Structure 1
Amino acid sequence: MRVAAAAALTELEREILAPGAGLDRLRLARAPFVPEVRLHLAEDAIVWWARMEAYAGHPLPPPYWASVWAGGQALARHLLDHPELAAGRRVLDLAAGSGLVAIAAALAGADRVVANDIDPYAVAAVTVNARANRVAVAAIGGDLLDSEPTGVDLLVAGDVLYSPAMAARMLPFLRRVASAGADVLVGDPGRGHLPADGLTVVASYPVPTTEPAVDSPVRRVLVLRPR
């Protein structure tokens, strides 16, 4: 994973420095609902993905990190509006994507921030985005859902309940982390896979949607915690 993430970082750094503009390029832009944070995003993630696959000569993971998702925006906004949630604490951003929530935690004064994702390109994106915002975030790869994370005071996870299969893996992990004593916050934009009980609503936000293939310019996003 480290080798793959290092190679992805080289590719993203090349993309960021390459001249030119267009739908298949990355740009440094402010997150609509969290303008304190700037991210390297694709003008059109699907077009960028197609060009990068053609360049690589083999399939690449979908570039979820190249769009700013509603669940992550709500969580990042919540941390910046309530910095006491992260200040002085050890934070883990699970399925971090672009690293938006991890960066918000760092800006809120977290003592240490780790961002995790299974996609090497997302790990690389966290690195370049943390650098753009001048914060320290440790980006790590790998699937943590069968592990027992230690040294975490606050776990944040945006848009992680996006399918029945993922919800079935994710929810037991989040509950284990909460049972071990960590605070857990989840950002969910109503994808329909929340359990009937077991989660408490902490906040609700109307978040501008910028991710591909959405049918509304604004989504109502809940910030929740396990009971």
Structure 2
Amino acid sequence: MNFQSTDREAFATRRLGFAVAASLLLHVLLLWPAPLRSPDREAPGTLHATMRSRQPDAMPLPAKTAPPRAVPSAPTPASPPAAAPVVPFESHARVSVPPAPAAPAAAPAQAGPVAASPNPVAASGSSVAAASPAAGPALAVPANSADTLDGLRGYRLAVAGQARRFKRYPADARASGRTGSTEVRLEVGGDGTPRPATVSRSSGHDSLDRAALAMIDAGAARARLPDSLRGRDFAVLLPVVFSLDDE
């Protein structure tokens, strides 16, 4: 009995020792320090994506073009020579100048005629047309041509102004409704005396033509002759208009 009890106690003691040793070994294994994991290290298999706005496609650069080639400018045509002074009140004025002695210098060139645009001046019963100051042909005259042209213009205006005082619309022509325009030619001699006026272009009615001649003769007898025209033979044309609208 004693031997059996002792054996049992020894056996129980060994089992307890084994159990304690196994328990300690298990705790040691459980408590054994594991390698520290880096907090910054991400777990394997984790994917991270960052959303970014899509950049616009780069615009293609414009193709370089060759600079425009300088085009030689066309030669500028020479401006026409300035027209010679004109006779504003004379569409067919003519000045007779004594022949000058021959000189080595070239004679001045004559300018081409310029068409006149007469502008009728209102008159009671009839009217004497006065040309625009820019109308009339250029004249071949000596060095004092400007004075001569001014004299012609002034004389025509003087004759027209005096002729208006003697306006007479023929009664028979007015009664029958006849109208027209008579172009009168007035010549002045070198002595300054006006010659009787003549019809250069008829109105188509004798009574109107006679009235126009009478007006111009009366006006020429009272018009003052400019000093620049004294001693010269010249002629001027004066249109006389007859209209039923005249008072």
Q: TM-score range by the shorter chain?
A: under 0.3
Counting helix residues as a fraction of each chain, which structure ranks higher? 1
TM-score (norm 1): 0.26
Q: Which has the larger radius of gyration?
A: 2
Answer 1 or 2: which has greater strand percent. 1
TM-score between both structures, scaled by the size of structure 2: 0.24
